[in-house]
Amino acid sequence: MVRYSIVLLAALAGAVATPVASRPVAAQAAAAAPMVHISNFTFGPQVLKVKVGQTVTWVNDDDIPHTVVSGTNLFKSKVLDTGDRFSFTFTRAGAYGYFCSLHPHMTGKVLVSA
């Protein structure tokens, strides 16, 4: 009986001491979806780098309406009230400038790489 208790304690001690595997920090960062926050009449970040196939989401954190419109009309949001979101998936590499049609001084850019 003593022999079994020692084996059991050793097994439990090993199980407790074994570290739990966690996701690498890079994998956690890659899992986060690219976002642009609209706040204080600015897009932040003003320049966002993504890969082809990624979806960018703009979130209006301001207390007034805004829009997100590409310079080439590739994408155009409805008027975004506070808390509203707009998403677009980039399928080709390139530089995509955008602005708020209600406040044209507000500009940003998405750089898409292969």
**Is a pLDDT exceeding 60 seen at residue 18?**
no
Domain ranges of the chain: 32-113
**Predicted local distance difference test score (pLDDT) of residue 32:** 82
Overall average pLDDT of the 97-110 stretch:
99
Topology given in CATH for the domain delimited by 32-113: Immunoglobulin-like (2.60.40)
Overall average pLDDT of the 75-102 stretch:
99
Overall average pLDDT of the 71-77 stretch:
96
Q: Which residue has the higher pLDDT, 24 or 79?
A: 79
Contacts of 96 (CB under 8 A, 6+ apart): 70, 71, 72, 74, 90, 109, 110, 111, 112
8 Å CB contact between 87 and 55: yes
Residue 40: phi and psi, rounded to 5, are: 55, 45
**Is a pLDDT exceeding 50 seen at residue 95?**
yes
**Predicted local distance difference test score (pLDDT) of residue 85:** 99
**Residue for token pair 């976002």:** 35
CA atoms within 13 A on the CB side of 98: 30
Contacts of 31 (CB under 8 A, 6+ apart): none
Enter the pTM of the model: 0.73
Residue 57: phi and psi, rounded to 5, are: -120, 130
